[in-house]
């Protein structure tokens, strides 16, 4: 329970690796929680400097020369659309996908001293005092980007250290996060989208490789219906113009009205809770009770 002395709105902190991750993971959840008065803050660990430009219309020398600034602006716009109250940068460089030259850069998130990254996030947690934290899963077999793996490791450590008054006293009084979630990408979503595309006579971007991935649907504890936030999710994705083409068959193969209703869920694994919960659940705030500020539920 959120105790009586904990004033102000319910607070959520989401930790992501690169600009655009916030729009593809948990975006609808954040949009709907911000509608309910929850203060949502985004931590972006890297500047996404190494990401390819995936939209041919944006693949110009001008954009490439200024990619870090362009991606910051894209993120600011997406965060505004989704209702994030604030965007915080953890201050690291994009590590790139395995095998890239950029892997060696000393300023990379993946190369940075682990304790330093944890300390930066602990300071944010103790200042923001989130009830709910969203991060990436412990198992990421489908898309093992070094920065995504590190987001998980750093978040888990920071949540634990933030609650320990014996550690990092300079970072403020201890704070115990009530609920910690991993955002999941389900096979059920891929199958539902694939089947609907075929039913409508459209081409599916999903091939056999997708269906034989090591999926973790059995770990999903929490399914949030975000159909009502579909337009904002789409607009936030499109705000990342260098990363997401408006005609992307992966993101936008279905007509909008269909896409909004086919498997309209964002799914999570509740990894840790200090409040009583009944699983499965449909609301990240289940079990929390705000006595002041935003209403919950
Ligand atoms: Zn990413």
Residue 112 has pLDDT above 50, yes or no: yes
C-alpha separations of 250 from 30, 79, 188, 241 in Å:
22, 22, 16, 15
Burial letters for 167-190: b for 16+ Cβ neighbours within 10 Å, e otherwise?
ebeebeebbebbbbbbbbbbbebb
Which token pair is 187?
């096979």
Whether the pLDDT of residue 291 is over 90: the answer is: no
At residue 20 the predicted structure's pLDDT band, cuts being 50, 70 and 90, is: very high
pLDDT interval class at 98 (50, 70, 90): confident
Distance from the alpha carbon of residue 206 to the mean position of ligand 1, in angstroms: 20
Residue 213 CA, ligand 1 centroid: distance in Å: 19
Is it the case that residue 18 has pLDDT exceeding 70? yes
- The pLDDT, as a whole number, for residue 101 is 85
For residue 283, report the distance from its CA to the centre of ligand 1, in Å. 25
Q: What distance in angstroms lies between residue 24's CA and the mean position of ligand 1's atoms?
A: 9
Banded model confidence at residue 7, pLDDT cuts 50, 70, 90: low
The pLDDT, as a whole number, for residue 292 is 37
* pLDDT at residue 244, as a whole number: 94
Nearest to 195 by CA among 247, 262, 251, 252: 262
Average pLDDT, rounded, for the chain: 93
Give the Å distance between the CA of 276 and the centre of ligand 1: 32
Question: 21 alpha carbon to ligand 1 midpoint, in Å?
Answer: 5
Distance (angstroms) between ligand 1 centre and the Cα of 25 equals 10
pLDDT reading at 294 higher than 50: no
Q: What is the mean pLDDT of residues 234-248?
A: 96
pLDDT in tens, 158-181: 999 999 999 999 999 999 999 999
Distance in Å, CA 153 to ligand 1 centroid: 15
Contact indicator for 196, 168 with CB cutoff of 8 Å: no
What is the rounded CA–CA span in Å between residue 53 and residue 68?
12
Q: What is the pLDDT of residue 60?
A: 94
18 C-alpha to ligand 1 centroid (Å): 5
Whether the pLDDT of residue 56 is over 90: the answer is: yes
Whole-number Å distance, alpha carbon 17 to ligand 1 midpoint, is: 5
Report the range of poorest mean pLDDT among 141-145, 192-196, 217-221.
141-145
pLDDT, tens only, 26-39: 999 999 999 999 99
Return the biggest CA–CA distance within the chain. Answer: 60
| Confidence bin at 1 (pLDDT 50/70/90) | very low
Residue 70 pLDDT exceeds 90: yes
Superfamily of domain 11-186+219-252+265-273, CATH level 4? LmbE-like (3.40.50.10320)
For residues 45 and 150, the answer to whether their CB atoms sit within 8 Å is: yes
pLDDT tens track for 114-154? 999 999 999 999 999 999 999 999 988 777 899 999 999 99
């Amino acid at each position: 329970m959120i105790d009586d002395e904990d004033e102000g709105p319910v607070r959520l902190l989401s930790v992501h690796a690169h600009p655009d991750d916030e729009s593809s993971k948990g975006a609808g959840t954040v949009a709907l929680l911000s509608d309910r008065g929850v203060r949502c803050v985004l931590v972006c660990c890297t500047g996404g400097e190494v990401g390819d430009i995936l939209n041919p219309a944006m693949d110009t020398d001008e954009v490439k020369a200024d990619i870090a600034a362009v991606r910051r602006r894209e993120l600011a716009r997406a965060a505004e659309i989704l209702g994030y109250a604030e965007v915080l940068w953890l201050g690291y460089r994009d590590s790139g996908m395995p095998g890239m030259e950029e892997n060696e850069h000393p300023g990379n998130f993946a190369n940075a001293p682990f304790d330093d990254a944890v300390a930066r996030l602990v300071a944010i947690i103790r200042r923001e005092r989130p009830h709910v934290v969203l991060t990436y899963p412990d198992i990421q077999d489908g898309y093992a980007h070094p920065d995504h793996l590190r987001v998980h490791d750093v978040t888990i450590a920071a949540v634990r250290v933030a609650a320990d008054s014996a550690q990092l006293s300079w970072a403020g009084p201890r704070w115990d996060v009530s609920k910690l979630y991993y955002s999941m990408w389900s096979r059920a979503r891929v199958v539902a989208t694939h089947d609907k595309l075929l039913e409508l006579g459209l081409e599916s971007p999903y091939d056999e490789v997708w269906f034989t991935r090591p999926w973790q649907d059995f770990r999903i504890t929490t399914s949030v219906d975000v159909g009502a936030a579909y337009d904002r999710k789409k607009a936030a994705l499109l705000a990342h113009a260098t990363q997401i083409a408006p005609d992307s068959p992966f993101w936008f193969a279905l007509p909008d009205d269909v896409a909004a209703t086919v498997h309209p869920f964002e799914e999570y694994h509740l990894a840790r809770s200090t409040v009583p919960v009944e699983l499965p659940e449909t609301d990240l705030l289940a079990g929390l009770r705000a006595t002041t500020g935003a209403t919950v539920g």
